[in-house]
Structure 1
Amino acid sequence: MAKEIERKFLVKGDGWRSEVSSSSNFLQAYIASGEDRSVRIRIMDDARARLTIKIGRKLIARDEFEYDIPLSDAREMAGNAVGIVLEKTRYEVEHEGYTWEVDVYDGTYKGLVVAEVEVEDENARPDIPDWIGREITGDRRYSNVVMATEDLSRELCHGLSSAAR
């Protein structure tokens, strides 16, 4: 069983852009969700797809299972998504031994920019780059499954410049 442990932050400014090592466009759709679990498909660069199952109530650490699936299956499942299909570009940024994933949302959440960093345990405190804003780990509003199943775009995208501080 794989355990995902991550911290999540709002991003302030564009300082991270000069440090990008790779990027990928994502279409992310939730097939099922419950209080402590979700099943999603992710189509990456319109070329490959993955099915992900996450189980656990804590937003910082959950069990995670991922499997490659046929692109045609993923497209069909996305057509049956629960709620909003999320659109975003993920940029990878290396900083002080950690890979930061910066998600720049498009579509319904256009303008929202969030960074995640996977850590080895819940107490890990990676060096925080200067382009990182307020920590939102544990804030359910920024959970992708919540963003997909509840339209929080007005709340999360309104006044972004002050929220990132």
Structure 2
Amino acid sequence: MAKEIERKYLLAHLPDLSGSPGEIIVQGYVAKEAEAMTTRVRIRGEQACVTLKGPSVGIGRDEYEYPIPLADAEEILGRYCRGRIVCKTRHLLEHAGMTWEIDIFAGRHAGLVVAEIELPDSGHSFAAPPWLGPEVTDDKRFGNFALALNDGSPQARWWQTQPPAAAKLCCCRYFGQLSCCDQANPHLREVAESA
């Protein structure tokens, strides 16, 4: 059994990402019941996986992740995750020997940028980068599953405090709209055009 131990933060300001090209991530959620596991399907570049995540206990939770064929992930996202999709560009930044994941959300979540750090154990200390803002690890609204359920309406965009940071995509066919596909990912564009 794998354990995911991570902390999540908003950013005080966007760091220099020029050294990190970023990777497009599209993920959707199939099922979730109270106190049950979350089932997530993710496409990251040309790779796909299904992940089962247990309920959070402090900053940790059980996590099981398995690779699946890309075509299967596309079908699951398109048929079973409609409306429960998150699209983002992930940048990796090193700071004081630790790797930070900077997620710039797109589509209906445009304007949201978070930083996450995975830790070897819950007591592990780390040096905070100068661009780090307030911690939101325990704020369930910032969980990807909660974001996937958020409809993106103006009243639901509680995170929007400034113009959105540039993201590499807007989303794809999994929302049922081709117009928001980004030219940066021709594979997703082709999938959308074939839908």
Q: Which amino acid aligns with 2:50?
A: L
Q: Distance in 2 between matches of 1:93 and 1:131?
A: 11
1 or 2 for the larger relative contact order (CA 8 Å, sep ≥6)?
A: 1
Counterpart in the other structure of 2:159: 157
Q: Which residue of 2 aligns with 1:56?
A: 55
Alignment partners' CA distance in 2, 1:121 and 1:111: 31
Sequence identity (%): 40
Q: Report what 1:111 is aligned to.
A: 111
Task: State the partner residue of 1:31.
Answer: 30
Contact 1:112-1:156 at 8 Å conserved across structures: no
Alignment of 1:77-156 (within 5 A): 77-79=76-78, 80-81=80-81, 83-151=83-151, 154-156=156-158
- State the Cα deviation string for residues 38-59 of structure 1 (Å, max 9, x = none): 00111112x1201111012336
Q: Hey, what's the Cα distance between the residues in 2 that align with 1:58 and 1:141?
A: 16
SS of match in other structure, 2:62: strand
Query: What is the DSSP-based 3-state SS (H/G/I as helix, E as strand, rest coil) of the residue aligned with 1:141?
Result: helix
Structure 2 residue runs of 5 or longer lacking an equivalent are 164-195
Q: Give TM-score, length-normalised by structure 1.
A: 0.88
What is residue 74 of structure 2 aligned with on the other side? 75
What 5-or-longer segments of structure 1 have no aligned partner?
none
**Coordinate RMSD, CA, aligned:** 1.9
Cα displacement (A) at 1:84: 2.8
Task: Return the alpha-carbon distance in structure 2 between the equivalents of residues 49 and 82 of structure 1.
Answer: 17
Q: Cα deviations across residues 80-104 of structure 1 (Å, max 9, x unaligned)?
A: 1063311100001111111100000
TM-score (norm 2): 0.75
Cα distance in 1 for partners of 2:115, 2:56 equals 21
Q: Name the aligned partner's letter for residue 148 of structure 1.
A: A
How far, CA to CA, are the matches of 1:75 and 1:83 in structure 2?
14
Secondary structure at 2:29's aligned position in 1?
strand
Q: How many residues align?
A: 159
Instruction: Give the CA deviation at 1:160.
Output: 4.7
Quick check: 1:53–1:64 contact (8 Å CA) kept in 2?
yes
Deviation beyond 4 Å, 4+ runs, structure 1: none
Instruction: Give the structure with higher Rg (CA).
Output: 2
Asked if 2 retains the 8 angstrom alpha-carbon contact of 1:16 and 1:93, the reply is no
